[in-house]
Amino acid sequence: MREDKGFLKNVDGWLIFIYLVLVIVGWLNIYAAVYDENHSSIFDLSQKYGKQMLFMIAGFVIAILILLIDMRFFMNMAYVFYGLSIVLLIAVLVVGTRVSGQQAWFQIGGFSFQPAEIMKFATCLTLAKYLSSSGVNLKNASAKFVSLIIIFLPTVFILLQPDMGSALVFTAFILVLYREGLPTWYVWVGFAAVVIFVLDLLVPFWVLLVILGLATSVLIYLNKKTFRNIASAVLLFVAAAGFGYVANHAFEKLEPHQKDRINVLLGKEVDLKGVGYNVNQSKIAIGSGGFAGKGYLQGTQTKFNFVPEQSTDFIFCTVGEEWGFIGSTIILGLFLVLILRIVFLAERQRNTFARIYGYGVAAILFFHVLVNIGMAVGLLPVIGIPLPFFSYGGSSLWAFTLLLFVFIKQDASRIAF
């Protein structure tokens, strides 16, 4: 029996269990989302659900392989992975296949592969390795600088594809830096930037100036009225106004469909047949599920193709419609437990690398869930990124499997250190 238990020794049962549930339920939901009476077997390999089954099996093989490999392998190879992934990102810009305006895929035969997915994993490893090396302290400017380079270098190439969704995912690593001691005001600046950016789109520039002016006055009023404080407040005002001005111009440079999506979210434009259509149909589908849902394969909104991208970005609609409030909260709850469990396990790691890596995994998963479900329930703009373990697609399933199981392996090996 010892032989059999070999590679499962010390692994965290919670994580494995939630992983399996999500992947299998995801597969069943893809079947429901693209259900076609003419190809009613879930094992039909000509259909998405048949292919997802193959992806799933390959994912299990990857998971087992990772558990068999010495955990130090990934730590040692981190920079190599990072370099290779960057090369792939550059290569895809040259020899990749163009799919709906994005040059993000390698297509080899019937098989396609998205290097941005593997980049997330490589960046997570590298960031963990760099921050855990001796002598690196986030209090130093150089460490901050290198960390930000590690995180944002890939986004340059991903934005060239252009794939805004995948690029945005990398901002999740700021959470890791925060945990590792990045000063709080960095986060505040980031937060303020987002607020100004949104205000920028909602109100004319002069109104923004008035608001910023008022905020500055309040700031001055609340603090001691020393010259130093007043000068900093005025400087802050100038910087914020400058950012608002630049952001406004940057927004004008966005692709029209991205502009539209942001505008719809902010309620500036209500065009439910055009850009707002997806979100609105998604909300109707989820809402129509009610408390208990319509039952498996009984969803009408998804069946009638009201909801686009049902098997990938909008897979959560099928859950909402067919399984209702009960089903969606259970799935959401599983994601919550999964992420919190990773954070909890990360904190109990004895070596820094494993801890930082664990936070990276949690941050990426959290960001994906936040954006994907936020979009499906109409709280965030439509940004096409998959729901981890759930959405149709090999690249993303394997990348998430890799991310998670490398962490599980780290955690299982913790005793050995």
Which residues bind to another protein, rule: CB under 8 A? 37, 175, 178-179, 181, 272-273, 283-284, 286-291, 294, 300-301, 303-304, 320, 324-325, 328-329, 332, 335-336, 339-340, 343, 347, 366, 370, 373-374, 377-379
Radius of gyration of the chain (CA): 23
- Measured CA to CA, the distance from residue 373 to residue 385 in angstroms comes to 10
CB atoms within 10 A of CB 360: 29
Nearer to another protein, 165 or 320 (CB): 320
Q: How many CA atoms lie within 13 A of 400 on its CB side?
A: 30
Q: Which strands, in side-by-side order, build the sheet including 97-99?
A: 97-99, 102-108, 111-113
Work out how close the CB of 332 gets to another protein at its nearest, in angstroms, rounded to a whole number.
6
- Measured CA to CA, the distance from residue 398 to residue 389 in angstroms comes to 9
Vertex 173: Cα angle to 189 and 26 (nearest 5): 125
Task: For residue 49, give every residue at least 6 positions away whose Cβ sits within 8 Å of its Cβ, in sequence order, or none.
Answer: 27, 30, 31, 34, 42
Work out how close the CB of 330 gets to another protein at its nearest, in angstroms, rounded to a whole number.
11
172 and 366 Cβ atoms separated by less than 8 Å:
yes
Work out how close the CB of 325 gets to another protein at its nearest, in angstroms, rounded to a whole number.
4
- Measured CA to CA, the distance from residue 397 to residue 403 in angstroms comes to 10
Nearer to another protein, 302 or 312 (CB): 302
Nearer to another protein, 163 or 321 (CB): 321
Indicate the DSSP class of residue 80. H
Nearer to another protein, 113 or 325 (CB): 325
Match 């499962």 to its residue by tokens.
8
- Measured CA to CA, the distance from residue 133 to residue 353 in angstroms comes to 8
Nearer to another protein, 84 or 284 (CB): 284
Work out how close the CB of 182 gets to another protein at its nearest, in angstroms, rounded to a whole number.
9
Work out how close the CB of 164 gets to another protein at its nearest, in angstroms, rounded to a whole number.
21
Nearer to another protein, 123 or 328 (CB): 328
Nearer to another protein, 162 or 341 (CB): 341
Work out how close the CB of 140 gets to another protein at its nearest, in angstroms, rounded to a whole number.
17
Work out how close the CB of 346 gets to another protein at its nearest, in angstroms, rounded to a whole number.
9
